[in-house]
Amino acid sequence: MNTVTSSGNYTVSVLQRLSERGGRDAIVAGERRISGDEAVSTVLRFAAALRGSGLVEGDGVALFVENSPEALLLQLAIHFSGCRLVFVPPEPGNGELEALIQRADVKMLLFDPVFEERTQRIAGRIDIPHVFSVGASSSAADFLAAASDIAGCSPGEAADGRHIATLLYTGGTTGLPKLVVHRSGYYDIYVQASSAYAADASVDTALLICTLVTHTSGHGAFLLGVLSGHTIVLLRTFDAGTALSAMAGERVTRMVMVTPMLYELLDHPDCHAGRFPALSTLHYTGAAASPARLRQAIERFGPVLHQIYGASENGLVTELPPQEHDLQRPESLTSCGRPAPGVEVELRDDEGKPVAVGEVGELYVRSPMVMEGYWNDPERTAEVLDGEGWFRSGDLGRKDEDGYLYLVDRARDIIVTGRTADNVYSRLLDDFLTAQPAIKEAAAIGLPGDDDTETVHVVLVPQGPADVPDLSELTREIVDALGDLYAPASYSIADSLPRTTVGKTDKKALRASLLRTRA
């Protein structure tokens, strides 16, 4: 069933698909195997427990959890009940987490026992009416135990869809984190799009989720996977060896990960070509991938790579499906694909006017998956979202004659050398460097120069201690390939690069670290 009920609550469709699985596995997490019937009854008991605690439609419920079947089913229960789902990712510092929860105005906090110490600190500083652990804890009542012996709601008791809302954290400064708001229309798109991912009824299909379910990629993958008839295979935390074992053992047909996870798979000694014959689609997202690494992935896994480009604010923007990862056209591996169905994109100049084909401009997106805005933050919403529904992404790119989009940088990552009218696009330099056999990772950033200009600094992560390249020779190769403008003024060698919550190289943190070292 791919239609929403009259209530407009998408969870009814999800529960119906889970119910159709009956006694067959719906969720596999390590040794645990949860049937479709068990998943449905658990969601309905969770929803009854939420309502029994006094929550009403529109109340905020924060989830501070690692990946687990309960984390997935609680998401459905919260929306079934008409409550506002607030995702609390584990990566931010304590001050930022406190600011996030304070700003989100939650009535209940559900936490994973592994976060018990951090939760005690948060609950000691913020007045939260209800705090429960998801499992046994010494500091709070166990929500799972409380819900275990109560009668569940009936499927017909789902709240009206107009009450559904999700807040997604996208960062910010302590005290004013950005919280993206998506409402029921966002979820209706998942229901409508699921038919494109529908599993062949004659094949036992499984979708492996490697990313956090409190992030867009994991949350969306779960919903699409269930709605399209897949068994969900869930990793508690990502480990390349564990992921490879799950891919083989569960005969995974589709999987979702961020780009650095793909790199870790490729670097693992158990990642052999031909080991995963069931795999039909490997979705990678969150950060641009090196063309050299994509060629390696195609050699290992076959023609299964499917790039997804998007963000919490604008949902899915473009896709590059397997058949368009064309080794005979190397430039295809530098593209993030063409707009997904229902998505409009425009590249605009500094004055907001569209640029010509082939020229670089800032990406604007309009689609049903674009956020409503930032939670209780009209000023920052107005900075990125106009009255016609266009979202200003901050990404810079160009389009070719066939409509393929090529991202060249984030607007804030451009290196302004001041030597010419041109800018240094760090993505181009990063891709060139990671194509070198001895270089595992690289990041080009701008450091302060003279007269408000910047100089190009490159941080290199060699494949091994013996693989540090001859920097003078490397500079000559860069100039030969990209021109004098891209010649680095300085280099540093590192064991690894800092990452953002979605796996992108954190150039802001890298730059700050280098400036502290210089001081």
Q: Domains (ranges, CATH) in the chain? A: 11-182 (3.40.50.980), 414-518 (3.30.300.30)
Alpha helix (H) residue ranges in 53-89: 69-80
Q: How far apart are CA 326 and CA 334, in angstroms?
A: 11
The amino acid that residue 285 corresponds to is T
pLDDT at 420: 41
Residue 158 structure tokens: 């789902």
Residue 259's pLDDT is 85
pLDDT in tens, 456-488: 999 999 999 899 999 999 999 998 888 788 899
Residue 177 has pLDDT above 70, yes or no: yes
What average pLDDT does the segment 290-303 reach?
A: 93
For residue range 424-442, list pLDDT tens digits in order. Answer: 878 778 888 988 999 999 9
Give residue-wise pLDDT tens across range 91-114: 777 888 888 999 999 999 999 999
**Taking the complete model, does pTM exceed 0.75, yes or no?**
yes
SS3 8: coil
- Left if phi > 0, otherwise alpha if psi is -120 to 50, otherwise beta: which for 150? beta
Residue 79, pLDDT score: 98
With bands split at pLDDT 50, 70 and 90, how would you rate the model's confidence at 167?
very high
The total of other beta-carbon atoms located within 10 Å of residue 149's CB is: 7
Residue whose C-alpha is closest to residue 439's, from 460, 466, 414, 416: 460
Distance separating alpha carbons of residues 386 and 431, to the nearest angstrom = 33
| pLDDT reading at 418 higher than 90 | no
Looking at every residue in the chain, the average pLDDT score rounds to 90
CA distance 427 to 329: 19
Cβ neighbours of residue 327 under 8 Å, at least 6 residues apart?
Answer: 295, 298, 333
Query: In this model, does residue 199 exceed pLDDT 70?
Result: no
